[in-house]
Chain A
Amino acid sequence: MNKIFEVPLYPYERHADEDAATPVRRKVVVIGAGPIGLAAAIDLAQQGTEVVVLDDNDKVSFGSRAICFAKRPLEILDRLGCGQPMVDKGVQWDTGKVFFDDRQVYDFNLLPEEGHKRPAFINLQQYYFEEYLVNRVRELQQQGAPIEIRGRNKVSAIGTHPGHVVLDIDTPEGSYNLEADWLIACDGAGSPTRQMLGLDFVGRVFEDNFLIADVIMEADFPTERWFWFDPPFNKGQSALLHKQPDGVWRIDLQLGWDIDKEREKRPENVIPRLQEMLGKDVKFELEWVSIYTFQCRRMEQFRHGRVLFAGDAAHQVSPFGARGANSGLQDTDNLCWKLQLVMDGKAPESLLDSYDIERIHGADENILNSSRSTDFITPKSEMSRVLRDAVLDLSEQYEFARPLVNSGRLSVPCTYDGSPLNSADALNGPERTRPGSPCPDVPLGDGFLLDQLGDKFVLLTIDADAPDVIEEEGIEVARLALSVKDDKTLALKDRYLGSAESGVYLIRPDQHVAARRPSFDENQFRHAIRRAIGKE
């Protein structure tokens, strides 16, 4: 066996910083080389910012863990230069089946909207996801970008100061101190950073345990998502079967709260249960098994001075709906351009408070959605079970009941309604592209809109005039001039104009809409740029 998660991808190497007479000051330190930490580091390094990633381990994640990656995170990965290997390797699916007790009650097709570069979802083991991010880090290093990963560098203490942080770091060869202007903590649900700083993690809406297994089998299960409510092989609980690359199947069995974790994890207990689920004659091999415990909660604030929390370190949700890694990637997408502008002196430090506002809004939306899924999957009272079972029984015969079946509302990106960075909507345009929205993709000839937006402020004009560049407060905003004629499918018109004849959009570096108007108005757009960087 020589699986990717058994190979040290960033083994410990002694760094000159360990031998410095006085602690070296770095621009940004990221704690945690998981999906979120690596994405943050790549985002900053692409802007030319010096970034050091510290991880207490030296390998990618063991087992599949986060497996379902949604369209918006894939679009973010495109911006980070590593979306393609993920999509090439990942398994795409759009059919789901729902089972109740011993029977299938219905199936559905996600019917993904046409005209997007990326699919609605891919399934991909977290270890591949992390490997491809590490590959991207190596690629950037070869291009001379100031990014490094230090394996087996465990942060044991954090000192916070108004203008920097000081880290105590343990390595296999001793300890050293390192300073950073900014610290991004992406060290997971149990976040040692959060604990070292004595910060809250509130909410605890729900608690449950899941047995998660990666199973290798040659079976004729189709590439579909199968979800069971109250199946005979897991009475009173739920189960999920998903296909991953390499003939690996992911199985999630809900166990309830009050269980003996060590006992449940033993192969002699796991294998008969899986055999019953998959069928007597199916041959399989257990690759990985784990018990996953989750809670729904979040920090009250994600920013604490010079320390910024992202991903599971900042918020945790139930696994239903793939809202963990997917929302973490949207955190760093939101954070990095703001931090870059602040470090460059182009935006006030208070711009970072909008990270709190916008991503707490996102976290609350995720917690709300996953709590509702949890309430459906695990009814809390006798009557909520009666109602849940009524929905499932009706769904077998009547289409109307199917939208009520909630086995996880799959992750969609958050619209930052009410954000202080938004300007008032001045276009009578589609709801989905109102200020605060993530830009939906649109086919443009051989390419796609989002690839053209990139990671800078953009003035998108659709059948409207505007200067090629406007500069405001040191921010250069280049125009992307399009016409509804550029897209024969009319998606550009449908998604960005609706009934309007023309439109001008100010789009942020994270590809969210900051402002829109029917035509270019210099004063209004200068005002919108200042607002989007926290100067108004």
Chain B
Amino acid sequence: MTEDQLILTANLERADDFYADLLAAHEDLSKAESDALNARLVLVLANHIGKRAILKQALAAAALKTGEDSD
């Protein structure tokens, strides 16, 4: 595994807790507010990752297009 490789194996610390945090963040929000929160979250995480190669792999992975591995 290199630095430029998106991690697609289990890597989350305390996965259940993170998932609960994610749901909690959306609790009581309208659809529009939730969409906005998700958008901000994506941007915050993307900035943390920073590397374009990783982000391209992440976009491809999220699109669930298997077999079309990007560069």
Contact = CB atoms under 8 A, between A and B. Distances in A.
Contacts of A398: 44
B43 A404 contact: yes
A426 interface: no
Interface string B41-67: 011100100000000000000000000
A394 B36 contact: no
Interface in A399-439: 400-401, 404
B21 interface: no
Contacts of B47: 400-401
A361 to B, nearest CB: 23
A390 B42 CA distance: 10
Contacts of B42: 387, 390
Contacts of A391: 43
A283 to B, nearest CB: 40
Interface string A479-497: 0000000000000000000
B35 interface: yes
B26 interface: no
Nearest to B35: A386
Interface size range of chain A in the complex: 10 to 19
A445 to B, nearest CB: 42
Contact of B36 (A389, A400, A401): A389
Contacts of B39: 383, 386-387, 389-390
A200 interface: no
Contacts of A476: none
B35 A401 contact: no
Interface string A377-394: 000000100110111011
A386 B36 contact: yes
A400 B50 CA distance: 11
A105 to B, nearest CB: 14
Interface size class of B (residues with CB under 8 A): under 10
Contacts of A386: 35-36, 39
The binding surface of chain B is classed by DSSP as helix
A236 to B, nearest CB: 15
Interface in B6-41: 35-36, 39-40
Contacts of B36: 386, 389-390, 393
A400 B40 CA distance: 12
Contacts of A383: 35, 39
Q: Is the interface of A mostly helix, strand, loop or mixed?
A: helix
A181 B14 CA distance: 77
Contacts of B44: 394, 398, 400
Contacts of A400: 44, 47
Contacts of B43: 387, 390-391, 394, 401, 404
A390 B36 CA distance: 6
A389 B3 CA distance: 31
A387 B39 CA distance: 6
A121 B35 CA distance: 39
A6 to B, nearest CB: 50
Interface string A274-285: 000000000000
A387 B43 CA distance: 8
Nearest to B39: A390
Among B35, B36, B42, B43, max chain A CB count under 10 A is at B43
A393 B33 CA distance: 12
A61 B17 CA distance: 65
A74 B43 CA distance: 38
Contacts of A389: 36, 39
A391 B43 CA distance: 8
B50 to A, nearest CB: 10
B71 to A, nearest CB: 20
A386 B41 CA distance: 12
B28 to A, nearest CB: 19
Contacts of A401: 43, 47
Most chain A CB within 10 A, of B36, B39, B42, is at B39
Contacts of A394: 40, 43-44
Nearest to B40: A390
A224 to B, nearest CB: 27
Nearest to A382: B35
Nearest to A400: B47
B8 to A, nearest CB: 24
A372 to B, nearest CB: 16
B59 to A, nearest CB: 13
B30 to A, nearest CB: 13
A387 B36 CA distance: 7
B34 to A, nearest CB: 10
A4 to B, nearest CB: 47
A148 B39 CA distance: 58
A401 B47 CA distance: 8
A387 B42 CA distance: 9
A381 to B, nearest CB: 12
Enumerate the 9 nearest inter-chain pairs by beta-carbon distance, A residue then B residue, closest first.
A390-B39, A400-B47, A390-B40, A386-B39, A386-B35, A387-B39, A394-B40, A390-B43, A390-B36
11 contacts: A386-B39, A387-B42, A389-B36, A389-B39, A390-B43, A391-B43, A393-B40, A394-B40, A400-B44, A400-B47, A401-B43
Given A391-B43, A394-B43, A398-B44, 19 more contacts: A383-B35, A383-B39, A386-B36, A387-B39, A387-B42, A387-B43, A389-B36, A389-B39, A390-B36, A390-B40, A390-B42, A390-B43, A393-B36, A393-B40, A394-B40, A400-B44, A401-B43, A401-B47, A404-B43
